[in-house]
Copies of this chain bind each other. A is one copy, B any other.
Amino acid sequence: MNDPIPTFEVAVLGATGRVGQEYLGILKDHPWFKVVEVTGNTKIGQKLGDVVENLPSPMSSLEIKESNPSKIESRLVFSPLPTDIAKQVESNFSRAGFSVITDASPHRMDQDVPLMIPEVNPEHLGMLRKNFTGDHHLPPKSKKKGFIVATPNCTTIGLAMTLKPLHVAYNVSKVVMTSFQALSGAGYPGVPSLDIEDNVIPFIDGEEEKVAKETNKLLGTYDEKENAFKPSSIEIYCSCNRVAVIDGHLESVYLEAKDRISDPESVLSNFKSIPQKLKLPSAPERPIVVMKEKNRPQPRLDRMVGNGMSTVVGRIRQDNEKALQYHLLTHNTIRGAAGGAILTAELLCKIFDGII
């Protein structure tokens, strides 16, 4: 018999922003997490319901606080903050003893920050366990031992998700990835319509470097002795492009492996991991869904597979023993942002609160 999961009281930083509101939207019906505090950049002191529309009653009456650790009680903090302020604020909260879950980029490559896709590298959370030896629970705030857990760039996620089982099976050595990224990935107002109508923009600043580095961190190992992450050393070449699609990042992947590739379709479609075994609330039944139709996945038709939490793969084709091509699609604002961060928090709470 399972013990009931306790309710975790959480804070959402930057809750009035566009991404913050997506967190509120998912969390308002969450079985484990209860939003009891919110912060904002402006309108401090106002009620959340006066700034954000369509919130249920307990959430709407929350007071908007400053993004300052001294104002917050909840030990678990979601940080959908814009990149430019995330770095400092997240460090402040971590140093003050909070557990910070962020989808912002500044701390992703920090040596003491686990970069997490729960299905890909759950063992990386071992660093937190190590850092709090003898205490499998989240550190109480009083102990002032906080930490940051980051989720990857929205373009990294589908790539790392599909590479994980392939790398385990075939020892991937080289990847060439070309992306077709959705407009929502650039935030709001983001891409001017005059730039993208009847057009493709073949450049997204900093994205290609992020995807390459993050993917190798995700596919690497956590070395408990050295208490360090050891990245994998796959050669990764990226080309990141913006197309006129609202949501859903499509990627075209070519890869080479050291070992003979056989039956990659089964390897991909059979992939399941810890979040599925733990039946985490936000975990899709299948992290990777393989479509057999010759012209799929397509962003508009397939982005909501698995409630936007599955990565959809199609057009798997193998020209020779050691080279493979396929397309993948990931919902960039669900799995690639709020949904991915919340699933990460679920894993964290499940593991560290001793249910398993």
Residues of A within 8 A of B (CB): 176, 178, 180, 183-184, 188-203, 237, 239, 241, 243-246, 250, 252, 254, 294-301, 314-315, 319, 323, 325, 327
Q: Which B residues are CB-close (under 8 A) to A315? A: 202-203, 239
Q: Which B residues are CB-close (under 8 A) to A319? A: 237
Cα separation A295 to B197 with both chains bound (whole Å): 16
Please indicate which of the listed interface residues A198, A241, A294, A297 has the most CB atoms of chain B within 10 Å of its own CB.
Answer: A198
The 5 closest A-B pairs by CB, nearest first: A178-B178, A189-B192, A203-B295, A239-B252, A199-B300
A195 to B: closest C-beta gap in Å: 7
Q: Which B residues are CB-close (under 8 A) to A301? A: 199
Grouping DSSP codes into helix (H, G, I), strand (E, B) and loop, the A interface class, with mixed when no group exceeds half, is: mixed
Cα separation A241 to B194 with both chains bound (whole Å): 16
Copies per assembly: 4
- Say whether, besides A192-B189, A194-B189, A237-B254, A200 and B243 are in contact (CB < 8 Å): yes
A94 to B: closest C-beta gap in Å: 32
Cα separation A300 to B245 with both chains bound (whole Å): 13
Q: Which B residues are CB-close (under 8 A) to A180? A: 180, 200, 241, 243
> Quick check: B202 and A297 within 8 Å, CB to CB?
yes
Contact of A193 among B190, B250, B254, B297 (CB under 8 A): B190
> Quick check: B197 and A246 within 8 Å, CB to CB?
yes
Contact of A192 among B191, B198, B199 (CB under 8 A): B191
Cα separation A183 to B296 with both chains bound (whole Å): 18
> Quick check: B194 and A246 within 8 Å, CB to CB?
yes
Q: Which B residues are CB-close (under 8 A) to A200? A: 180, 243, 245, 250, 298-299
- Say whether, besides A237-B323, A239-B252, A323-B237, A194 and B183 are in contact (CB < 8 Å): yes
Cα separation A346 to B195 with both chains bound (whole Å): 33
Q: Which B residues are CB-close (under 8 A) to A299? A: 198-200
Please indicate which of the listed interface residues A189, A296, A319 has the most CB atoms of chain B within 10 Å of its own CB.
Answer: A189
- Say whether, besides A239-B325, A244-B243, A325-B237, A194 and B188 are in contact (CB < 8 Å): yes
Q: Which B residues are CB-close (under 8 A) to A325? A: 237, 239
Smallest Cβ-Cβ distance to A317: which chain B residue: B208
Cα separation A252 to B239 with both chains bound (whole Å): 7
